[in-house]
Structure 1
Amino acid sequence: MTRNYGTVTETAGTSHGGRRSEVDVKLVLVREWLDANGLPGVAFTRPGPVAWLTAGLTNPIDRSDPLSPLWLVVTAQNAAAVTTTVERPRLEAEAGLAEVGFTVEAVPWFDADAFVGAVEEIADAPREELGADGDARFGVDGDDDLTALRLRLLPPERERLARLGRDAARALEHAVSAWRPGEQDRDVQARVAEELERVGALPVCLIVGGDDRVERFRHPLATGRRVQRLVMAVVVAMREGLHVAATRFACAGGLTASVEGALSGARIVEAAMLAASRPGATYGQVLGACERAYAQVGRPGAWQEHYQGGPVGYRQREFELAPSQRQSRWFAQPIEPGQAVAWNPSLAGGGKSEDTFLVEDDGLLCVTQTGAWPLVEVKGGQPRSGVLDIAR
C-alpha cells in the first residue's frame, strides 16, 4: 500500500508547551465525544483531522493522497500516533509528538492492513466498534461530528489562520499585479505557487484564467493562453492544516460593462452573506440571505450555478451547503465567534467575490486583506476587494 508520507515541521511561532495546551483542549473534546457515543476509541486518518489534533504538524508529499502519513488513535486513557518504520525516526526526531502527549507506534510499510490493525491493538477493540473520520474500514463514521468539534478555532489557530491569510493574499496580489498583457496564464499561476511555497503554504486549489474565458467559465483553468485584458486568480492556500481562500482580478484599461455588472452583482450577494454571518445566526440563514440576494440582483436561482463557499478551516471548506438543503445538519449549525468563513458567490459573465473572514463577537475580520489592493464600496456591506487596473 502506497502511503502519503509528509514533511513535519514545528508549528511556526508555537512552543511545545503552547502546542501541548492546544492538544490537551482538543483531546478533552474528543474524549467527551467518545463518551457520549459509547465508543472505545477513534482513529484520525486524514490530513485535516490529524493536523487539527496535533496543532498543525503534517504536510503531505503525495498531495493527491486522501490519507495522512500519520494516524492518531484516541481512547479514554491513551493518545497514540501510528506511522511506518520508514517514517518513525524522522517523526520522533522532528515532530515533537511525545512532547504533546502522543506515543509513536511503527508498522511495516508493505502491510496493507497494518495501520488498521495497529489502531485495533491500541484501542483494544475491533475495527467495527471504533469511530473514524470517514474511513470506511471502521465501524462508526464520526466525520460530521468531528468536523463540528473543530469549527470554532482556538485562539492559537486564529493567529495561525491570520498569518496564513496575510501570506496568501500577498502572494496572490504580487503575482496578479505583476501581470502584463500578453503574458501566459500559466506564468501568473507559477508566480502564485512559487510565492506560496516560499512561505511554507501549499496551493491546494489554484485557478488562473483570462479574458473571455473568465466570462464564459467559472473555473477557467490555466492552459498557456496569453491574457490581454482581464485576469482572474483564485487560490486556496493550506499551511499547518489550515486553509484560506481568496480571489483577485486585474485588468488593462478598464472593464467592459458586462463584467463590471457581474462583479457588482456578486459583491452584493456576498455582502448579504457576510451580513448574515453573525454570532447566533445559523448557516442556513446565511444561505437564505444568499438566495434572496441573487433574486435582488436579477438572477434568481443563480446559486445553483456554482458552489457558494462556507466555513473554512482544516478543509478547503469544512462543509458546503445549498439553500435547498434544509434537511442537512449544517443548515441549523450555529455561527460562533472563532469560526472562519469564505463565501464564494459568482455570476455568469465574470462576477466573483471571495476572501476569508474570522467571525468575531462584534463583526467579521478579513484575514486576506493586505491594505495594498484597491477596495470598492458595496451597497449594504463593507468595502471589498476590487479590480486592479494595471494601465493606471
Structure 2
Amino acid sequence: MSPAHRARAVQPIVRALATGLRPRVPASPSPGLVLTSTAAVAWATGGASPAIDRTAATDTVWLAVPADPAAPCTVITTVVEAPRLAAETPFAELGWPIVAVGWSDPGEFVRATETALRSEAADIASDGHPAFGIDISHDVLARRMALTEPEIADLRSLAADATTAVEGALRAWRPGDTDRTVAASIAAHAESVGASTPVLLVGGDDRLRRFRHPVPVGAVIEDVVMAVLVAQRGGLHVALTRYAARPGAAAALADRLAATRAVHAAVLAETRPGATGSTLMAAIDAAYRAAGYPGAWREHYQGGPIGFAQREFEIAPGDVTSPWWDFALPETVAMAWNPSVAGGAKDEDTYLVTAHGVELLTASTDWPMVDCGAVRRPDVLLVTDGKGD
C-alpha cells in the first residue's frame, strides 16, 4: 500500500488521540500532540520516510497533530531532510505543510512544535519526549497495535519477503560457509526489497548450542545453522527463525526442537483478541511444563505483539505491575512467538490475530514442515551435499 493510503487509514485513530486529550489545566483546551519517535512517526505517516539513523529513538521527522480535527497536521524536520520530503513523500497530497528547522539545535524542533500547535511545550502531549508536558506514549502504543487493513497488507508483503530472504540463504548454505556469509545473503535480499534487518542472528554448531543469541562472528559452520531475522519496512516488523543441517545434526536437535514447537502450538492456541499478558504467560508456563522443560521460559524472551517495534512489549512475568499485564489484545494485532530451550532450539514466526483466527504471515511456500497438533511448523532443512534437500 502507498504511504498516503496507510496514513489516511490511520488518521482517524491519530486524530482521536489528539482530540481526546485531557489538558494539563482542565479549564483550558488541549492544543494537541506531537509524535517524535521513529515508531510513532512511521505509524502516523504510513511509513512515508525511512529513518535516516536506524538506531535513533527520536526521528528527524516529527508530526504535530492539532486537537482541532479541521486543522492540518504539520511535518517538522531539518533543513537537510525537507527537500527530500517535499519531493518524495505524500505530505503535500495529505495537505500537511513541512516546516524546516536548523539541524544543529534540537530545541528548534520543540519551538516549531509550539508554533504549530500554538501552545507551550508543557501543555502539549507527546509519545514520551521529555520536552513536552503530557506523556501519552502508552496510549499511542496501545492504539497502533490494532492494525488497519493497509498496514495488514504491507505486513503480509514484508513477511513474504523476509521469509524468502531467510529460507533462500539457508538453501544456499554449504557446510564450510561462515555465519557472516549467510547473514550477508539475508541482509542483501532484505535491502533489495527495501527492508532493513534490526535483528539478524546466524550461528551454528557449538556456538548455536552454547548461545541463545549467536551473532555472526565469521565462524565456519559445518553441521547445523540457525538464522533469526527481524525485518522492518515502512515502520512495520516481522520475525522468523529457520534451521538447516546435515541429517546427523538435525537428529541430535530433534527432541529439543519438538519441545519448542509444542510450546509454540500450545501458546498459539491461546492467542486471540481479548487475551491478556497474564493469561498468555500462564499458557507459556504450562506449555513448558507439559513439554518437559518446567520454568525454561526464564532462560529467554518468549515474544509478544509485534508491529511498529520488533516487540511492542514482551510477555513476561516481570510485567505484573505494568499496564500491559492485563492489557487485552485488540483485534487485528500481529504477534511473534519465539519459545526456545537450551542447546540450540528455537521456534519463531509472525502471525496476524483476528476474531476469525490466527494467520501465519511468515509462511513457507517450499520448506519442510512437521505436524504439531493442530498446526504445522517449519522443520529443519536437510543438507547432504551443501544444498537443501
**Fold shared by both chains (TM-score > 0.5):** yes
Q: Which runs of 5 or more structure 2 residues have no equivalent in the other structure?
A: none
Amino acid at match of 1:22: A
Amino acid at match of 1:280: G
Alpha-carbon separation, structure 2, partners of 1:390 and 1:163 = 28
1:53 aligned to 2:44? yes
Runs of 4+ displaced beyond 6 Å: none
Q: SS state of the match for residue 319, structure 2?
A: coil
Amino acid at match of 2:302: Q
Q: SS state of the match for residue 71, structure 1?
A: strand
Q: SS state of the match for residue 331, structure 1?
A: coil
Match of residue 344 from structure 1: 338
Indicate if the aligned counterparts of 1:46 and 1:67 stay in contact, CA closer than 8 A.
yes
Indicate if the aligned counterparts of 1:152 and 1:336 stay in contact, CA closer than 8 A.
yes
Amino acid at match of 2:383: I
After TM superposition, the score normalised by the length of structure 1 is 0.92
Query: Kindly, what percent of the aligned residue pairs are identical?
Result: 42
Out of 20-29 and 49-58, give the one that drifted further: 20-29
What is the CA distance between 1:156 and its match in structure 2? 0.7
Alpha-carbon separation, structure 2, partners of 1:19 and 1:357 = 20
1:92 aligned to 2:80? no
Q: Report matched runs for 1:291-302 at 5 Å.
A: 291-302=285-296
What is the CA distance between 1:254 and its match in structure 2? 3.5
* 1:386 paired residue among 359, 379, 384: 379
What is the CA distance between 1:363 and its match in structure 2? 1.3
What is the CA distance between 1:19 and its match in structure 2? 4.1
Match of residue 231 from structure 1: 225
Alpha-carbon separation, structure 1, partners of 2:7 and 2:351 = 27
Alpha-carbon separation, structure 1, partners of 2:7 and 2:257 = 45
Indicate if the aligned counterparts of 2:3 and 2:90 stay in contact, CA closer than 8 A.
no
Match of residue 9 from structure 2: 22
Q: SS state of the match for residue 329, structure 1?
A: coil
Match of residue 59 from structure 2: 68
Match of residue 268 from structure 2: 274
Structure 1 residues 71, 275: CA separation in 2 closer, same or farther (over 3 Å shift)? Answer: same
Indicate if the aligned counterparts of 1:268 and 1:378 stay in contact, CA closer than 8 A.
yes
Structure 1 residues 62, 325: CA separation in 2 closer, same or farther (over 3 Å shift)? Answer: closer
* 2:201 paired residue among 196, 204, 207: 207
1:181 aligned to 2:175? yes
Amino acid at match of 1:27: V
Alpha-carbon separation, structure 2, partners of 1:238 and 1:157 = 13
How many residue pairs were aligned?
378
Match of residue 171 from structure 1: 165
Structure 1 residues 119, 366: CA separation in 2 closer, same or farther (over 3 Å shift)? Answer: same
Q: Which runs of 5 or more structure 1 residues have no equivalent in the other structure?
A: 1-12
Indicate if the aligned counterparts of 2:64 and 2:116 stay in contact, CA closer than 8 A.
yes
Q: CA RMSD in A?
A: 1.8
Task: Please give the per-residue CA displacement for 1:188-220, whole angstroms capped at 9, x wherever unaligned.
Answer: 000000000000000111000111111111001
Indicate if the aligned counterparts of 2:10 and 2:148 stay in contact, CA closer than 8 A.
no
Amino acid at match of 1:204: P
Match of residue 248 from structure 2: 254
Alpha-carbon separation, structure 2, partners of 1:29 and 1:332 = 23
